[in-house]
């Protein structure tokens, strides 16, 4: 496990025209399945970690998909189809994407709502429950031998050959605009959190920890919080086995580098070997801390959320969903991060927000780790 404070940090640099944040939230509110996801305060958990408070933005029930990914997939497909109509062009014959599970199900759901077929490329070793959830949305789940990055390549090749439109959250050469729209879609969860904090008169967080993956969620956090007058510190957590963001920021020139590991973490949604080129500029200028953790911390975080201390809510989190809290636990308890917690000045006054990005998308694994089945 290791950490790097960003030597390229320039949170006020590279400012672009603000994305249509009001339009994003307005669109999501127009969906029949929409409702704001909860923001939980967990003071008991905070006390056990020696902190002032811990907030958990709980995405485990978003749109009935058990993950936050529907925010990005629905907005990106909506915007793409609007552009087709404005240009007088027909919609694509089908859409496609690569996934470790959650994004693929979200694209399948968004495509079904739009009346489009979808093919989702997913590593063959993925949890059967995640594969079946994609098929349950009416999509074709194309199993790919290898890693998520292999699925990305296969998706690009077959989509180009068949004329399908890729709706991906990772940007690569000649494919950048839709991943930026996906990240824009995630802004809704941060806007909801701000509103919920204000409504409860809770203090704003001093530190926000987001999951790594290809970097889209972290890019959305950078774009959201750089508009705050009092910007919190932003940290990105990754598995040690899939640390492409950490490898990239640790490189001499701060350019994208592949992960060192085998992308075999139990945090399946974060098993990404390559950085999204669409997300990286925002991360390079706007994330304070990059760090990697072992899987054992994700398991501990799942148990702490689901079986809380007295007074805290019970929260269902999958392995990737619990990664934000897992990172926080590692930061405050493990000797490998002593320098990081000292520089962040974590104390009994510090308020931290983490995001539970998914519920129990693999019920068998959840039962094994948490000791009992997920919530109904």
User: Which tens digits make up the pLDDT trace of 300-348?
Assistant: 999 999 999 889 999 999 999 999 999 999 999 999 999 999 999 999 9
Residues 238-256 have pLDDT tens digits of 999 999 999 999 999 999 9
Q: Could you write out the DSSP letters of every residue in 89-129?
A: PPPPS-EEEE-SSHHHHHHHHHHHHHT--EEEEEETTS-HH
Residues 268-289 have pLDDT tens digits of 999 999 999 999 999 999 999 9
Q: Is 100 considered catalytic here?
A: yes
Question: How far apart are alpha carbons 298 and 286 in whole angstroms?
Answer: 25
Residue that finishes a domain, picked among 159, 179, 199:
179
153/238 same-domain check = no
Residues 52-106 have pLDDT tens digits of 999 999 999 999 999 999 999 999 999 999 999 999 999 999 999 999 889 999 9
Residue that finishes a domain, picked among 142, 157, 179:
179
Q: Is 149 considered catalytic here?
A: no
Is the residue at 376 inside a domain?
no
123/240 same-domain check = no
What is the tally of structural domains in the chain? 2
Is the residue at 238 inside a domain?
yes
38/147 same-domain check = no
44/83 same-domain check = no
CA atoms within 13 A on the CB side of 23: 9
130/153 same-domain check = yes
Question: How far apart are alpha carbons 224 and 55 in whole angstroms?
Answer: 17
Average pLDDT on 14-24 reads 65
Q: Read off the pTM.
A: 0.94
253/173 same-domain check = no
pLDDT beyond 80 at 155 = yes
Average pLDDT on 285-297 reads 97
Give the range of the structural domain holding residue 254, as residue numbers without chain letter.
2-67+183-370
List 58, 100, 149, 362, catalytic entry: 100
The domain spanning residue 212 has which CATH number? Answer: 3.40.50.1100
| CB 279, CB 182: distance < 8 Å | no
Residue that finishes a domain, picked among 179, 196, 226:
179
187/241 same-domain check = yes
- Name 221's Cβ contacts closer than 8 Å, sequence gap at least 6: 190, 208, 210, 234
Is the residue at 21 inside a domain?
yes
244/108 same-domain check = no
Look at residue 310 in the predicted model and tell me its pLDDT.
82
172/271 same-domain check = no
List 57, 66, 69, 169, catalytic entry: 69
């Amino acid at each position: 496990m290791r950490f790097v404070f960003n030597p390229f940090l320039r949170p006020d640099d590279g400012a672009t025209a603000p994305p249509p944040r009001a339009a994003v939230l307005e669109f999501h509110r127009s969906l029949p399945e929409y409702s704001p996801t909860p923001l939980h305060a967990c003071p008991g958990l905070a006390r056990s970690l020696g902190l002032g408070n811990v907030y958990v933005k709980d995405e485990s029930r978003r749109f009935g998909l058990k993950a936050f990914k529907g925010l990005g997939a629905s907005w990106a497909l909506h915007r793409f189809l609007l552009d087709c109509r404005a240009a007088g062009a027909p919609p694509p014959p089908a859409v496609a994407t690569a996934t470790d599970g959650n994004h693929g199900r979200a694209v399948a759901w968004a495509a079904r709502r739009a009346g489009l077929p979808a093919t989702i490329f997913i590593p063959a070793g993925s949890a059967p429950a995640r594969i079946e959830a994609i098929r349950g949305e009416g999509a074709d789940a194309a199993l790919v031998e290898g890693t998520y990055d292999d699925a990305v390549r296969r998706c690009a090749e077959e989509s180009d050959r068949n004329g399908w439109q890729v709706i991906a959250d990772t940007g690569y050469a000649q494919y950048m605009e839709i991943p930026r729209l996906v990240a824009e879609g995630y802004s809704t969860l941060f806007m909801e959190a701000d509103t919920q904090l204000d409504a409860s008169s809770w203090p704003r967080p001093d530190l926000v920890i987001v999951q790594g993956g290809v970097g889209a969620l972290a890019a959305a956090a950078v774009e959201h919080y750089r508009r705050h007058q009092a910007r919190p510190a932003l940290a990105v957590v990754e598995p040690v086995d899939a640390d492409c963001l950490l490898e990239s920021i640790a490189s001499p020139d701060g350019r994208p580098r592949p992960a060192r590991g085998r992308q075999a973490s139990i945090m399946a949604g974060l098993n990404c070997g390559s950085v999204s080129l669409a997300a990286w500029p925002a991360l390079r200028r706007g994330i304070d801390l990059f760090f990697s953790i072992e899987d054992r911390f994700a398991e501990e975080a799942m148990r702490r959320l689901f079986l809380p201390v007295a007074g805290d809510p019970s929260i269902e989190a999958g392995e990737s969903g619990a990664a934000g809290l897992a990172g926080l636990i590692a930061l405050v308890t493990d000797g490998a991060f002593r320098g990081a917690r000292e520089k962040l000045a974590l104390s009994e006054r510090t308020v931290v927000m983490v995001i539970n990005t998914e519920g129990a998308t693999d019920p068998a694994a959840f039962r094994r780790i948490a000791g009992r089945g997920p919530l109904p």
